[in-house]
Amino acid sequence: MFGDVTLSRHASSWLSLSTIATALALSTLTVSPVFAQEPQNITVILSESQFDPKTITLTVGQPVLLNVQNQGKADHNLSSNDLPISSVKYVKADNSSSDLERYVATNVLNADALSGHTSMVIFTPTKAGTFGFFSEGEEELGMVGNFVVLNPGQAAPPPAAGAAAPAPPPAPGASVAMDGQSLATQSAATQAMFASVWGDIAAQEWVQEHNAALSR
């Protein structure tokens, strides 16, 4: 009888362990995709007086690897005073180590990039909305942009109404160049030279040569 009781207790113990193991396995399967989520890899190019792109679309809860690539001749910066983020980690940046420690502790995006350098920072957006970014001390020069943070599954907003569509390239044989100039706006000597060589198609030939020079 005692042997049966002992066996029953062992069986009950193994059943409990098996149940716990199964629950842990299911729990691991449930949360593992979150930890396996790959960061969104974004590169922003800095040059004199501009960011490219100026608008960056992010998603709440989606980790971001932001590459701040300075292709300008001067030193620049990418900062945001109001972007709500968490889990900030600076892979590399040209800020002082004490500043970077403070930014990590307070979840702040502020990455210096010296000329020719690329800074890298990882973070996770925590709130939807539109939040500005800028290069410190260069806002008035046009070095500003926006983070557009969407909720998961939310579609990006359409372009603003009334936004001008990019002008199509001039058609072959057009008499106006990509920058709006034409042979008629050139000096009399230039007009005479092209007319003497090309005759009736002088305007179109000037446009072709001018466009080729613009694209160099």
67 plus 105 within the same structural domain: yes
Tens of each residue's pLDDT in the chain, 216 residues: 444 444 444 444 444 545 444 444 444 444 444 445 788 999 999 998 899 999 999 999 999 999 999 999 999 999 999 999 999 999 999 999 999 999 999 999 999 999 999 999 999 999 999 999 999 999 888 899 999 999 998 887 766 555 555 555 555 556 777 767 787 888 888 888 878 777 888 788 877 787 777 665
Domain span including residue 203: 183-214
139 plus 104 within the same structural domain: yes
Exposure letters 172-209 (e unless 16+ CB within 10 A, then b): eeeeebeeeeebeeeeeeebeebeeeeeeebbbbbbee
44 plus 146 within the same structural domain: yes
Give residue 24's pLDDT.
45
143 plus 82 within the same structural domain: yes
Determine, yes or no, domain membership for 103. yes
Give residue 194's pLDDT.
76
Our count of domains for the chain comes to 3
199 plus 130 within the same structural domain: no
Determine, yes or no, domain membership for 115. yes
Size (the chain), residues: 216
26 plus 82 within the same structural domain: no
Determine, yes or no, domain membership for 160. no
Q: What is the largest CA-CA distance in the chain?
A: 121
Where does a domain end: 109, 133, 150? 150
